[in-house]
Structure 1
Amino acid sequence: MELQLHNSSTTVAVSDAVFGVEYNRALVHQIVTAYQAGGRAGTKKQKTKGEVRGGGKKPWKQKGTGQARAGSIRSPLWRGGGVTHAAVPRDFSQKVNRKMYRGAIRSIVSELARSGNLLVTDAFAVEAGKTKSLVQKLTTLGHSDVLIVSESIDQNLYLSARNLHKVGLCDVAALDPVTLLAHDKVVITTDAVKKLEAWLS
């Protein structure tokens, strides 16, 4: 198949196996969920009755005081006591096969190409590392919520994009399913298309 360059009659030949596959919603959902789960810190920790400092001695004798029996001042029922079913550090990551991960990326980029949300350009650069320069360039494209994918990160482009919360910038090696789905449009250079095709083939 062929992808047409944005605002041009020129086309770029690409593989149907990468940019022409059917959208697999279940696979994309599974991979996105696993990717987000892998980003969780999982460092939440609370102390149980046995971990709270103190409480080693029985506060009063079992019988004869008229008070309810108690074995420790660090009981979960007491102020300053431990937590019942306390949270412990855990690993939220899920196992994802390499073929499944690449299959999800292929599915996403194919759907972007089909829906017209994948804009291919010969090159994408700004003259100076100023936010204003990139805003003007995006205005000519007619889009503000975009992900810019290039073969390598240009310093000026990085400096001009980092202060725009609706503009993402990454190279092909840093692409992930969540970033691809987070923006309305994806602007990708022809060099990045070839590199992406080589990675996913």
Structure 2
Amino acid sequence: VVDSLKLDSPKTKVLADKFKAMNLQSVMVIAEEVDENLYLASRNLVNVLVVEPRYADPVSLVRFKKVLVTKGAIDKLKEMFA
């Protein structure tokens, strides 16, 4: 769980370095809101999927070794399943 995953620019290398620092190689990211920078930075990473809570599905959750969730996304997931 992270506070947020905001990027200043749509650079794949920046996002890849963040994941490498967290020791994440195969990761599904559930973010409260997928902004343009996050989308553009993640689309070239093979073992990375970035989605909003409403698009998180069981098959994707099983496919990736790790799941990274923002705090805002947890709140939205709670609303969806309440």
Give distance in 1, aligned partners of 2:36 and 2:61. 22
**Partner in structure 1 of residue 78 of structure 2:** 197
Paired residue total = 82
Please, which of 123, 126, 134 is the counterpart of residue 15 of structure 2? 134
Q: Greater relative contact order (Cα 8 A, min sep 6): structure 1 or 2? A: 2
**Partner in structure 2 of residue 169 of structure 1:** 50
Give distance in 1, aligned partners of 2:31 and 2:24. 17
Deviation at 1:139, TM superposition (A): 1.3
Deviation at 1:141, TM superposition (A): 0.8
Note if 1:181 corresponds to 2:47. Answer: no
For the residue of structure 2 that corresponds to 1:121, the secondary structure is coil
CA-atom RMSD, angstroms? 0.8
Q: Give TM-score, length-normalised by structure 1.
A: 0.40
The amino acid of 2:68's aligned partner reads: V
**Partner in structure 1 of residue 37 of structure 2:** 156
Please, which of 102, 122, 127 is the counterpart of residue 3 of structure 2? 122
Give distance in 2, aligned partners of 1:125 and 1:141. 15
The amino acid of 1:182's aligned partner reads: R
Q: Which runs of 5+ in 1 are unaligned?
A: 1-119
Q: Give TM-score, length-normalised by structure 2.
A: 0.94
Give distance in 2, aligned partners of 1:161 and 1:196. 22
Give distance in 2, aligned partners of 1:130 and 1:123. 17
User: C-alpha offsets along residues 62-117 of structure 1, whole Å, 9 cap, x if unaligned?
Assistant: xxxxxxxxxxxxxxxxxxxxxxxxxxxxxxxxxxxxxxxxxxxxxxxxxxxxxxxx
Contact 1:127 1:133 in 2 (8 A): no
Greater per-residue helix proportion: 2
**Identity among equivalent pairs (%):** 34
Q: Which runs of 5+ in 2 are unaligned?
A: none
Give distance in 2, aligned partners of 1:122 and 1:181. 23
Moved over 6 A (4+): none
